[in-house]
């Protein structure tokens, strides 16, 4: 089978890229291991996505925003960073008169459902769901993908959007720097006694990181990052003991906690692909950059990569150009490296500092927070990054 573009991976980045090509007259084949029903009605995975203003605007342009239930969107008005149990907090808020929020919080499954709704009936889109990729081979005019059932699909351009441990990336021969962190992120929604005022907090301890993401009402998503063995023990606690543990680990900042529903566990690893493009192929989303969740920008960067590549491919198609031209793919890679590189490096530096229990790091941590608080232009600049990426 011949098509213009093959997309491997039906997550938010892959679907956003597909939607970005709507009306371009390009034929697209989307390959996804999950069945189509799971894409149409994805299960709750516990993840709350902190959307920047840029990402919200992109979702509006793609037609996805208006399909998200209004009650599923929670405003994020301010973010505060704390060093352990210190009462001092470094605060980030939008500038006066610009907007009343840093961004929005939306559950990942709502975003996935909304993205699917925008492409489910897209003309010239073929679906290969419930099946995987057995082989990827490049040739002079493009890429050939063999499915698990032996069928072969060829195209001038292949886009890999199949998550941070991308098998497609590996099949293309693109190496990646993968760092397994030996820690696990636990996610659980919890009701609490006091109002959160739509303020997110992130507290860095020496044995844990705790984030509280404000949802509708007196409910927050509690994000605990713990050593993997300890995380397994916490996740296995019965509801009453878990609620008490959440109250203790959050220092009762929002009062007594009551766990709502199950605990979701995600072992942490970061990924940086050495290249985001290769002949006749490009990487988007987590296949290109798998961020540490501490800065909550993984989804935003993934959406940005999809929009960036789609814009270039769409323009080439409209002018009769080569949609897989080496110059086009180099432009995409350069733009996304510029967008992702500094944020990835800064995130890694923050993680190293705030998981280092040596005496020097213990002294540096509060000193850096106080210094940043005194430099209002720095604080305002960070807030703009949080809102924009």
141-189 per-position pLDDT tens digit: 999 999 999 999 999 999 999 999 999 999 999 999 999 989 999 999 9
Could you give the percent of the chain with pLDDT greater than 90?
77
What three-state secondary structure class fits 336? Answer: helix
Nearest to 32 by CA among 49, 13, 19: 13
pLDDT mean over 128-140: 95
pLDDT mean over 59-75: 95
Contacts of 10 (CB under 8 A, 6+ apart): 30, 31, 32, 34, 39, 116, 129, 161
Q: What angle do CA 218, 220, 226 make, to 5 degrees?
A: 150
Q: Do residues 228 and 183 lie in contact, with contact meaning Cβ atoms separated by under 8 Å?
A: yes
- pLDDT tens digit sequence for 89-126: 677 778 666 678 889 999 999 999 999 999 999 999 99
pTM of the model: 0.91
The pLDDT score that the predictor gives to residue 140 is 83
pLDDT category of residue 378 using cuts at 50, 70 and 90: very low
pLDDT mean over 290-316: 93
Structural domains in the chain, CATH included, are: 5-45+53-74+104-178+270-352 (3.50.50.60)
pLDDT mean over 17-40: 97
Higher pLDDT residue, 344 or 384?
Answer: 344
Q: How far apart are CA 58 and CA 171, in angstroms?
A: 30
Higher pLDDT residue, 124 or 343?
Answer: 124
* Phi, psi dihedrals of residue 253, rounded to the nearest 5°: -60, -35
pLDDT category of residue 377 using cuts at 50, 70 and 90: very low
pLDDT mean over 303-311: 98
pLDDT mean over 266-283: 96
């Amino acid at each position: 089978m011949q098509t213009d573009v093959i997309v491997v991976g039906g997550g938010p980045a892959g679907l956003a890229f597909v939607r970005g090509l709507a009306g371009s007259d390009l034929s697209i084949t989307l390959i996804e291991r999950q069945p189509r029903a799971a894409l149409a009605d994805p299960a709750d995975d516990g993840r709350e996505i902190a959307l920047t203003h840029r990402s919200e605007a992109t979702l509006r342009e793609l037609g996805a925003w208006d399909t998200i239930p209004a009650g599923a969107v929670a405003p994020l008005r301010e973010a505060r960073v704390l060093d352990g149990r210190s009462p001092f907090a470094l605060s980030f808020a939008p500038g006066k008169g610009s907007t009343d929020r840093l961004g929005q919080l939306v559950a990942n499954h709502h975003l996935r459902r909304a993205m699917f709704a925008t492409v489910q009936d897209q003309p010239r889109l073929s679906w290969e769901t419930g099946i995987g990729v057995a082989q990827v081979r490049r040739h002079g005019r493009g890429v050939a993908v063999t499915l698990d059932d032996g069928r072969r699909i060829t195209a001038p351009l292949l886009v890999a959007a199949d998550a941070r441990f991308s098998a497609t990336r590996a099949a293309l021969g693109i190496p990646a720097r993968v760092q397994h962190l030996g820690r696990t992120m636990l996610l659980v929604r919890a009701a609490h006694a006091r109002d959160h005022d739509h303020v997110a907090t992130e507290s860095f301890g020496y044995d844990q990181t705790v984030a509280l993401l404000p949802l509708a009402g007196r409910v927050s998503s509690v994000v605990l990052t713990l050593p993997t063995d300890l995380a397994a023990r916490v996740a296995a606690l019965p509801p009453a003991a878990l609620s008490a543990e959440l109250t203790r680990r959050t220092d009762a900042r929002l009062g007594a906690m009551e766990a709502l529903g199950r605990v979701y566990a995600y072992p942490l690893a970061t990924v940086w692909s050495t290249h985001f493009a290769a002949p006749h192929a490009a990487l988007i989303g987590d296949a290109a950059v798998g961020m540490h969740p501490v800065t909550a920008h993984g989804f935003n960067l993934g959406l940005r990569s999809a929009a960036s590549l789609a814009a270039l491919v769409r323009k080439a198609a409209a002018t009769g150009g080569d949609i897989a031209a080496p110059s086009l793919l180099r432009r995409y890679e350069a733009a996304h490296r510029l967008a992702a590189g500094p944020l990835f490096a800064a995130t890694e530096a923050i993680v190293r500092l705030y998981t280092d229990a040596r005496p020097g790091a213990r002294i540096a941590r509060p000193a850096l927070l106080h210094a940043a608080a005194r430099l209002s232009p720095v604080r305002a600049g960070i807030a703009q990054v949080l809102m924009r990426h």
